[in-house]
Amino acid sequence: MIEQDRVTAAAATIEDEDFARSVFVRRIARAGTPIPVFPATELQRGDVVTLAGPARSVADTAARIGVPDRATDVTDMVLVAFGIVAGAFIGLPALALGRLEIGLSLSVGVLIGGLTCGWLRSRWPRFFGRIPTPTLWVFESIGLAGFVAVVGLDAGPDFVAGLRTAGFTLVAAGLLTVLVPHAVGVAVGRRVFRMEPGVLLGVCAGAGTATPALAAIQEAARSAVPTLGYGVSYAVGNVLLALWGTVIVALL
């Protein structure tokens, strides 16, 4: 795992060093997502680089450019518990305005706590524990789905009542809510910010918190380039999803 703020992934950075001879970069992952390995690719703090070569040379290179991040099946539960408790303390307080209480809610607070712990680990990996990739996959796949399911169960009676009252209007509003932001995002990203189509579609998939959409985009593009725009938008999208989902349910 990289500790420096920014390093060039090209061999030009370390190829002249004796300790890096016969060491090759096999894979680069950013926020758990593989990114393309090109001569001009820049490493950022928190990136995980898979090296290949003689054991001694690999160990020396890893010690020079970052912290060894060896695979393990042990989860640092202290870090997980700290993130949950800290997030709960952030989300539970609410501002009372008459009969209305305004706050982040427990779910959003825990999400912010997790994002903070992930950022702290990316900055100081020596002091914050590791969570295995399979565990992260379970949390991401089942955890978010479980949260959405609970929100749906809680909002179910109000949704059915609204559907009976509004009928097709409610369905049309839902379609517009889903399609319009992505259409606007694609138009603005392409014409205003001049983003590359692959990266832009990755941003849209992340903003919609849709990992299957990212997989479909990668399959269609036959490239991992869309993942470059996925990470940040996915994190922001998760926060807004939890926050505004709670607000909408409260309004209903």
Beta-carbon contacts of 66 under 8 Å, excluding residues fewer than 6 positions away, are: 1, 2, 3, 4, 49, 125
Element containing residue 81 per DSSP (H, E)? helix 77-91
Q: What gap in Å lies between CA 49 and CA 29, rounded to an integer?
A: 6
Q: Give yes or no for a contact between 234 and 206, defined as CB atoms under 8 angstroms apart.
A: yes
Q: Which residues make beta-bridge pairs with 44?
A: 6
Write down the pLDDT at residue 64.
79
Statement: 6-65 belongs to CATH 3.30.70.1450? yes
How is residue 56 written in tokens?
Answer: 């001694």
**Chain-centre distance for alpha carbon 148:** 17
Q: For every one of its 252 residues, what pLDDT tens digit does the chain have, with 9 covering 90 and above?
A: 554 444 444 444 555 666 677 888 888 887 667 788 887 788 777 788 888 888 888 888 887 777 777 767 777 888 888 888 888 888 888 777 776 667 777 777 887 888 788 778 777 776 666 777 777 777 766 766 676 677 667 767 777 776 777 777 877 887 888 889 899 999 999 999 999 998 999 899 888 887 778 878 888 888 777 877 887 788 788 777 767 766 666 666
Domain residue ranges of the chain, discontinuous segments joined by +: 6-65, 72-131, 148-252
Q: Which of 50, 29, 45, 37 is nearest to 9 (CA)?
A: 37
Q: Is the pTM of this model over 0.75?
A: no
Beta-carbon contacts of 220 under 8 Å, excluding residues fewer than 6 positions away, are: none
Q: What is 114-169 written as a DSSP string? A: HHHHHHHHHH-TTTS----HHHHHHIIIIIHHHHHHHHHHHHHHHHHHHHHHHTHH
Write down the pLDDT at residue 11.
40
Beta-carbon contacts of 99 under 8 Å, excluding residues fewer than 6 positions away, are: none
Q: Which residues make beta-bridge pairs with 24?
A: 52
